[in-house]
Structure 1
C-alpha cells in the first residue's frame, strides 16, 4: 500500500548560514552591544524591544534565503529589495515610506595597484531595526564591527550617520591621494617622462569620474529628506545630516577643482607634444630645403645626354661645388629667416 507523501519540512531560519546573517547585535542603553545569532534575532523580532533599544542585522545577499528571512521576520519593505535588484550603485539617502533607505559605497583606492574597487552597501533603517545588506565585503562595516563596543550607538540613525561619515572620509582620502599624485606629475611635467605623465593623468581623471559617480550622494533625494524627514527622526541626526551635506559639498568641490586641474595639465601636455611635433616637422622641412639644390644639380648632371657643361673642364667639380654651396646658403637663409611681424 502506498504511503502518503508528506510535505518536506522547511529548514528552520535559526542558523546563521541558512539565514545569511553575518553580524547581528542588540543595542541597549547603558549596556554593551549583545551579539545575536539568527535564532535570537528571530525571537526578538516577535517581541517588543525596550525603549531606546534597537537591532542591527548585517546580511549576505549571496545566500538564497537571506532576503526571504529578513522579509518574513522583520517586515522590511519590498521596495528595499527592489532597490537592491535595480543594480544602481550610486550613493543616495532618501525616505522610503516611514523608513530611511541609504545606498553607500566602499571604495578602495590603491595607488600601487593603480586601480579602484568598490563594494555597495544597502541600508534600511526604521526606529528599532536597521538592516545592512551587501554582496561583497564592505570595509566600513568590518571597521565598525572591530570597534563596535567603543562606538556610542544610541539609535539606528546614529549608526547610519557613522557609516555616512566613513564614506565622506573615504571621499576626502581619495581626493587627497589623487592630489598628491597630480602634484608629482606636475613637478615632472617637463621631464622626459611626458608620455607616462599623460597616460597617468588620463587614468586619474577616469578614476575620479568613477569615484564621483559612486560616492557623491544624489542631491535631490538628500534635500527632500532634509526638508521632509520621517517623524521619528530627531533634531540632532538632522543637524548632523546637514553637516554631512556641507562636508560632502566641500569634498565634491575639491574633487571638481582637482579634475579641472588635471584637465589643464592634460591640455598643457598636449600643447607641449604638439609644439615638439611642430619643431620636428620644421626641422625635416629645413633639411629638405637645404638638400634641394644638390638634388636638382645631381639630377641634371646625371642625365646620359650629350652637351653636359664643364665635362672637359679640369675645375668643373669645384665650380659645381661652389654653385651648389651658394644655392644651399640662399635656400637656408630663405628658410630660416624670421618674419618681420
Structure 2
C-alpha cells in the first residue's frame, strides 16, 4: 500500500486516548491489540495497493476487499464470521461540490479493529480526529462506528434544513409572482427537486442498511449502543420522510405556477377569440364591398364612406350588446 492511500492510523484506548501508527508499521502486519484497545486504519479506497493490502495484510477475503474498494457501492451491511462490512453515504461538503454528490464511506469492523475507506474528505472523520486530539476518542469499536454514522446523519440533517428554508422561500415567492415571470421560480424548484431526488436515492437504502445493522448485529459491547443505533435508524427514516415531504411541496408549488401560466394563456386566448368574433362580421362587410366588380352601391355617392362607417359602427355596437347579453365579455 502506498503512503497516499493511508490517511491515518491510530491505536485507540477505552479511555479516549490514541497513539498514531506510521504507515511503514502497517506493511508487515497489523499490530496486536490488547483488551481495551482497538485499531483504526483510515484509507483512500482509490489509492494504489489498497485492495492488495486488505487481502494480504488485513487478511480479508477477496470478495470482501472488492466490496470495500470498488466503485458504485450502495448503502448496505453484510455480516461474516470474522466481522462485518458497512457501507454508508455522507453529504459532500467540500469546496466547489454539491452536497447531493454523496460520498461513499466503507467500514470493515472486527472485535478490535475498524478499517474505514473513502475517496473524498468527510467532516465526520474530521470530528473523530478532533476528538482524538482532545483525548475524547470513541472508547470502543461500536462507539466509533455509531459516532461516525451519527455525524454523517447530523450533516445530512443540516443540508435538509437548508433545503427546507429554500422551499419555504419559493412557497412565499409564488404568492407574489408576476404572471409571465414564473420561469425563474420554476427553475429554482426544479433544481431543489433534482437535489432531493439524488439525496433520497442514497438515504432510502441507508435507512434500510441501518435497520438491518441494528437487528442482525450478533452482539453489542454495551446495550446503550444498540439504543443509539435504533435512534439513528429512526432519525434516518425521518430524514427520508422529510425528503419525500419536500418533494411533494415543490411539486405543489410547480403545479400552482403552471396553473398561473395556464390561466394567463387561457385568458389571452379568450380575448383573442372575442376580438376575432367582433371583427369577423366587419371584415365580411368590408371584404364584400371591396370586391372589384360593377354594381357596388354608393360608389359614386360622396356619402358612401360615411354610410358604410355608420353601418359598421351599428354592427359593432350590436355585437358588443349581444356578447354582454351572452356574458362573453
TM-score band, normalised by the shorter chain?
0.7 to 0.9
The aligned counterpart of 2:133 is: 149
How far off its partner does 1:330 sit?
Answer: 2.9
User: Structure 1: how far apart are the matches of 2:304 and 2:152?
Assistant: 86
The aligned counterpart of 1:208 is: 196
- In structure 2, the CA distance between the partners of 1:113 and 1:180, relative to structure 1 (3 Å rule), is farther
The aligned counterpart of 1:27 is: 12
- In structure 2, the CA distance between the partners of 1:159 and 1:259, relative to structure 1 (3 Å rule), is same
Aligned residue-pair number: 324
- Residue 308 of structure 1 aligns to a residue whose secondary structure is coil
| 1:243 pairs with 2:206 | no
1:184-227: CA deviations, max 9, x gaps? Answer: 11111131341111111111111101001123344554333323
> Are the equivalent residues in 2 in contact too, given 1:109–1:174 (CA < 8 A)?
no
User: Structure 1: how far apart are the matches of 2:189 and 2:324?
Assistant: 37
> Are the equivalent residues in 2 in contact too, given 1:92–1:103 (CA < 8 A)?
yes
How far off its partner does 1:21 sit?
Answer: 1.0
1:161-189: CA deviations, max 9, x gaps? Answer: 11111221122112211111111111111
> Are the equivalent residues in 2 in contact too, given 1:93–1:217 (CA < 8 A)?
no
The aligned counterpart of 1:168 is: 153
| 1:298 pairs with 2:305 | no
The aligned counterpart of 1:287 is: 275
1:81 corresponds to which of 62, 65, 69 = 65
How far off its partner does 1:51 sit?
Answer: 0.4
1:185 corresponds to which of 145, 170, 179 = 170
- Residue 105 of structure 1 aligns to a residue whose secondary structure is strand
- In structure 2, the CA distance between the partners of 1:163 and 1:257, relative to structure 1 (3 Å rule), is same
- In structure 2, the CA distance between the partners of 1:114 and 1:102, relative to structure 1 (3 Å rule), is closer
How far off its partner does 1:154 sit?
Answer: 0.8
The aligned counterpart of 2:122 is: 138
> Are the equivalent residues in 2 in contact too, given 1:25–1:33 (CA < 8 A)?
yes
- In structure 2, the CA distance between the partners of 1:103 and 1:335, relative to structure 1 (3 Å rule), is farther
How far off its partner does 1:334 sit?
Answer: 4.1
- Residue 74 of structure 1 aligns to a residue whose secondary structure is coil
Aligned-residue Cα RMSD (Å) equals: 2.7
232-241 or 303-312: bigger deviation:
232-241
2:90 corresponds to which of 101, 106, 117 = 106
215-224 or 30-39: bigger deviation:
215-224
User: Structure 1: how far apart are the matches of 2:93 and 2:22?
Assistant: 34
How far off its partner does 1:266 sit?
Answer: 1.1
Give the TM-score taking structure 1 as reference length: 0.85
> Are the equivalent residues in 2 in contact too, given 1:101–1:124 (CA < 8 A)?
yes
Give the TM-score taking structure 2 as reference length: 0.88
1:58 corresponds to which of 33, 42, 64 = 42
User: Structure 1: how far apart are the matches of 2:301 and 2:167?
Assistant: 70
> Are the equivalent residues in 2 in contact too, given 1:122–1:133 (CA < 8 A)?
yes
The aligned counterpart of 1:16 is: 3
> Are the equivalent residues in 2 in contact too, given 1:90–1:216 (CA < 8 A)?
no
> Are the equivalent residues in 2 in contact too, given 1:127–1:155 (CA < 8 A)?
no
| 1:117 pairs with 2:101 | yes
Task: Map residues 256-271 of structure 1 onto 2, 5 A cutoff.
Answer: 256-271=244-259
Structure 2: stretches of 5+ with no match in the other structure: none
The aligned counterpart of 1:321 is: 309
- In structure 2, the CA distance between the partners of 1:336 and 1:198, relative to structure 1 (3 Å rule), is farther
User: Structure 2: how far apart are the matches of 1:217 and 1:309?
Assistant: 85
